[in-house]
Amino acid sequence: MKKALGVWLIVVLALLAAGQDKSKKAYELMYDDIQQLKLQVQRLEKKADAAADDLKAVREVLRDLTAQFKSFQAGQARSDENLKSLPAQLQVFLEKFGQLESQIQKISEDLIDLKSRPPGEAPPDTAKPGEKTPADKKPAPSKKEPAPKEKPASGGAPLQTNLSPQDVYKTAYADYQKGTYDLAIDGFQTFIEQFPANPLADDALYMIGECYYSQKKFARAIEQLDELIINYPDSNKLAATYLKKGYCLAELKRKDEAIAVLRFLVSKYSFGEEAKSAQQKIKELLEEK
């Protein structure tokens, strides 16, 4: 009996020891899990801190963007007010420009009238506005240029005043092509004086500018080109005239004026060949600065 009791006690103790070992292992496993959880919590806390910093930065950026947007809205409101007042300012400008254009036209007409009168002849006082006088109908030599005389033209043939407009123009143009620019200038000037209403009058004036340009007399060329711009506002030579004027100004080292003229040409005649040449010249002038 004692032996049986002893055996049973030993068995119970063994079971208790085995249970304790299992509990110990379970606690160890739980401890390990807890440590892992602590590490995860620490990592999450670090991430949370970083996220908080990022959130703070985002809020600051958002605050700056909000301030910028409010500033933009205020500027847009001011721009809208300026735009509302622009039509009235533009109308005033157009009215002043129209007045200036009328004055220029009047001055041009007076100059043509004076130029067409013989030396010493006073202008008539009885002529009505818009009414042509005999001097207007038949231009006479001006004080600046003597009366056209028979002179050798291209090929040495005399330039007769009774030639047709086409013959006078062709003769002058032939002189230009041969490089006899003084003869060409005289021929084109004779054409303008004798046939001021001819459709080629503006072409003749432009060619005088071309002759002076070829002679490197750039200031004289600009005078002729400006006369074309003022007297022939509907000429088909205007684009070429502005281009040549820009070239002349560039040759005279007046670069800012040259660039302004060429840019005007590009804006007004943007699809022509002259505009392409003007853009190239503008690029060259800007690179020289």
What pLDDT does residue 149 have?
Answer: 39
Query: 9 pLDDT band (50/70/90 cuts)?
Result: low
Give CA–CA dist 101/108, Å, rounded: 10
Mean pLDDT of the chain: 74
What pLDDT does residue 235 have?
Answer: 93
What pLDDT does residue 137 have?
Answer: 41
What pLDDT does residue 31 have?
Answer: 62
Mean pLDDT of 170-192: 96
Question: Tokens in use for 183?
Answer: 């003869």
Q: pLDDT tens, 91-122? A: 555 555 555 655 665 675 666 565 555 545 54
What pLDDT does residue 139 have?
Answer: 42
Q: pLDDT tens, 68-99? A: 666 666 666 665 565 555 555 555 555 555 55
Residue 193, pLDDT above cutoff 60: yes
Give CA–CA dist 196/192, Å, rounded: 5
Q: pLDDT tens, 240-279? A: 999 999 999 999 999 999 999 999 999 999 888 999 999 9
What pLDDT does residue 110 have?
Answer: 63
| Percent of the chain surpassing pLDDT 70 | 52
Q: pLDDT tens, 13-60? A: 665 565 555 445 554 566 666 776 677 777 777 777 777 777 777 676
- Backbone region of residue 284 per phi and psi (left: phi > 0; alpha: psi in -120 to 50; beta: other values): alpha
Among the ranges given (68-72, 138-142, 214-218, 271-275), the one the predictor scored with the smallest mean pLDDT? 138-142
Tell me the fold of 151-288.
Answer: 1.25.40
